[in-house]
Chain A
């Protein structure tokens, strides 16, 4: 690279100035300026007497504070005969407490400048809001009330069930939902991680009593984290939190059960999800990757950035910029508490379904068989470190990221180590990670679209094909 790049960790980047196969950069292009250290958020961690973990981050700037309350247990902890009840729980937990109606709660949080949203994930349920700094206590009070006193009134549950059923029906019309659901099933089989949404049967069968039971099991201080990010004094914030959450008591019963071990291998197979009327085929490929905290997690992140995680990645340059097959191809790694996996996603017009899969296979295997160029490696490292720093300027992103770290069982300072580890990743590390996780043969394929189009396009690959269950 002609530009003089001084790395985030200057030592490591001192030698990058040469060797690249791409065209030279413009002669007049000014070099990058000197780096400034990208400070990671500093987390002040504490635990209340009742076991509630509290992580606080001071952030200057706009007068807003982001709160996130995470409790352990999400889709993967749902009872086997009530898959997806976490979603119904999330949609009803904010709809009234023993002393306040759903409308009063919505109005109180709005008056504080926020929305109250509960979202179900595989390993957790999170309730979050971002309020005006001057209204911090009102926000905490609402969160604390919802965490301790949710009522699950019959009429709210009935309405949530009805709307949840219609919502699911609508989601089933969306190619991306169908693809994600089929991919989770393909990767995880009968393991609880295959649940990413409810079924019509489980919605119909769920009752208010069941919701109260699941709520009691999961919403307990010894299995919960509260994060606050914004412009506040840590001591005062902790006092306010203690005032509203200090009386929350853990029940005597056991918390959620430990998850069974997740599968970590998949076989190359095409799962066809017929969707009549599709003008595109939605391709979603999945392969297992490292857990967050594994030694090769960062190397695999760099590999993914080079492969399909950045706009300048091999996949985007190939099937979008060179061939124009698709608007927005991308890949990402998703980590759960007990599994990590990669997803490649491209929505391609019907006629290029086969050629697109061919190019995706080519790029996956090229990651395995070729080392990244010096420029690819440098760009990917800087991109990941820089984007992390940029994302973490948003209060709600810091709160989300800290909740993810906690759910994955890692300490709060993990948020500050990511950049350092990424910057230390070598070409050999990336190559090793790519060889382990990227071979097309270790990847399963979901194709959502017109059945005839997909069959004709993908049969020549000779990969076993079957219709989604």
Chain B
């Protein structure tokens, strides 16, 4: 990088110069195009011949946020059922095709999408496309599959929540307290009573409503020629009929007026922890990227302000994690209300108030003084590098492209994010911190080790 900070004239001028020099030196973009089929399926192709492999992501516009009331955890349970076979390709075929093709696959459910991802040597592209089209047509809606996967999901909740210290309370309980409406506040892993109440009719209805080609984006990245991919996608997906998608409900939240605090106990944790969540502005608002940067300035790595203040200087914390939309996505990929979350593990001989005092001092310093230009350049370099890292593997680039198109109708942000970050100024970060990182806008949960009564209060109940 050849940026010369010393050449600065006025602040404004220096910033624009610095942003463009930076961009010229570091910009990276892969050839990418997109096309929409007559049935509404959007297809994105990014050509990359660095290895004879591919990555695929099919994202559907359905996540935790829109799952029906009384059916918490359903979007994720449904994701599991997408792997249980179809009339034409019974259970097991999917894995035989992908693993026999030398690849691997997975699925993820998040607030605003459910994605199905595969990566393999290029020879497996066609059969893998076929299996994705096949499960976009219909599924094997059997009670046996539902019962089996409900058990598997309940084991997943046990292993990731109930049998874990902290039980993901920063990801499940914190939104539960910070948000007021069902779409954003409910337990996305699902209450067992809701999972147990799920019926095969629910599965069919959910599929009918949300798993249509017009509610999906397919991204293919790798050793391909776009025209070949478009032709194959037309061949395998073209005949799948579009179906109406339910109108998107209002998911916005009423503003929070006062600080919310609560306490939990944990039978598995040996050391106390705090979760703090601030409401963030909507993704497309002018403040959104400034929020992402603020979150990373505070949380990203050992150079971050919270690590330096809490772990090193004041020594009131053992670890600090967090950021905007953390831990269930990048700070750029959300499509509804989200938080900047901090998860702080602290020593038993330190009090909650001591941790908070140090935390507030660090946040207030940012709100009063803002970052220096050097601080900002540093975090922008790190975020740029992190984002490129996210685009390195074909499977994760497919995922990023597919989410962007699902939210925005285009993939511009995927390649624009690094340069957009470089435009944010210290004054904007200072103003952002002063406006959003205030106590009335936050929720705090303190979770402390409990004597073993066999039950944790809070997450996973």
Contacts and interface: CB of A to CB of B under 8 A. Distances in A.
B101 A32 contact: yes
Interface stretch (B7-15, B175-183, B388-396): B388-396
Contacts of A347: 155, 158-159, 163
Contacts of B50: 59-61, 393
A212 to B, nearest CB: 21
A385 B347 CA distance: 46
Nearest to A116: B302
B94 to A, nearest CB: 9
Nearest to A282: B163
A375 B122 contact: no
A33 B159 contact: no
A110 B301 contact: yes
Contacts of B300: 110
A33 B125 contact: yes
Contact of A28 (B88, B162, B303): B88
Contact of A62 (B25, B51, B97, B389): B389
Interface string A48-80: 000000000001111110000000000000000
Contacts of A22: 92, 96
Nearest to B377: A111
Interface in A360-418: 375, 378-379, 382-383, 385-387, 389-390, 393-395
B423 interface: no
A211 interface: no
Given A166-B271, A348-B155, A113 B381 contact: yes
A429 to B, nearest CB: 19
Interface in B274-313: 300-303, 308, 311-312
Highest count of chain A CB atoms <10 Å: which of B121, B127, B267: B121
B89 interface: yes
B100 A170 contact: no
A103 B153 CA distance: 43
B322 interface: no
A389 B268 contact: no
B48 interface: yes
Nearest to B317: A163
B102 interface: yes
Interface string A100-130: 0011001101111111100000000000001
Interface string A149-187: 000000000010011001101101111000000000000
Given A166-B347, A394-B393, A110 B149 contact: no
A62 B28 contact: yes
A327 B155 CA distance: 5
A38 B378 CA distance: 37
Interface in A326-358: 326-328, 347-349
B88 to A, nearest CB: 5
Given A103-B308, A163-B311, A312-B95, A30 B28 contact: no
B91 interface: yes
A324 interface: yes
Nearest to B390: A62
Contacts of A25: 89, 93, 96-97
Contacts of B125: 33
A32 B152 contact: no
A280 B158 contact: yes
Interface string B357-373: 00000000000000000
B52 interface: yes
Contact of A107 (B160, B165, B303): B303
Contact of B162 (A60, A63, A279): A279
> Interface size class for chain B?
35 or more
Given A25-B93, A30-B127, A175-B163, A387 B103 contact: yes
Contacts of B152: 320, 324, 326-327
A107 B378 contact: yes
A134 B345 CA distance: 36
Interface in B259-274: 267-271
Contacts of A375: 96, 100
Nearest to B455: A277
Nearest to B154: A349
Interface residues of A, number: 89
Contacts of A32: 101, 123-124, 126-127
A34 to B, nearest CB: 6
B96 A312 contact: yes
B319 to A, nearest CB: 8
Contacts of B88: 26, 28
Contacts of A279: 158, 162-163
Given A103-B312, A116-B302, A172-B270, A38 B381 contact: no
A132 interface: yes
A384 B284 CA distance: 42
B4 to A, nearest CB: 14
A321 B91 CA distance: 9
A284 to B, nearest CB: 13
A378 B103 contact: no
Highest count of chain A CB atoms <10 Å: which of B99, B125, B126, B152: B99
B436 interface: no
Contact of B270 (A37, A107, A170, A386): A170
A411 to B, nearest CB: 23
B155 A106 contact: no
Given A29-B97, A32-B127, A375-B100, A115 B158 contact: no
Contacts of B124: 32-33, 386
B444 to A, nearest CB: 21
Nearest to B3: A134
Interface string B104-148: 110000000000000111111111001100100000000000011
B268 A114 contact: no
Interface string A1-32: 10101101000000000000011011011111
A317 interface: yes
A135 interface: yes
Interface string B309-336: 0011001001100000000000000000
B385 interface: yes
A297 interface: no
A6 B124 CA distance: 11
A257 interface: no
A135 B381 CA distance: 10
A325 interface: yes
B26 A63 contact: yes
A310 interface: yes
A389 B119 CA distance: 11
Given A61-B48, A62-B388, A383-B100, 15 more contacts: A8-B102, A32-B101, A34-B123, A59-B50, A64-B385, A106-B308, A110-B303, A134-B25, A135-B1, A162-B315, A279-B158, A310-B99, A312-B96, A386-B124, A394-B392
**Closest 5 A-B residue pairs measured CB to CB?**
A386-B102, A113-B385, A324-B151, A36-B52, A312-B95
14 contacts: A25-B93, A28-B130, A30-B130, A32-B101, A36-B123, A130-B385, A159-B312, A169-B270, A277-B454, A280-B159, A321-B148, A326-B159, A389-B51, A394-B392
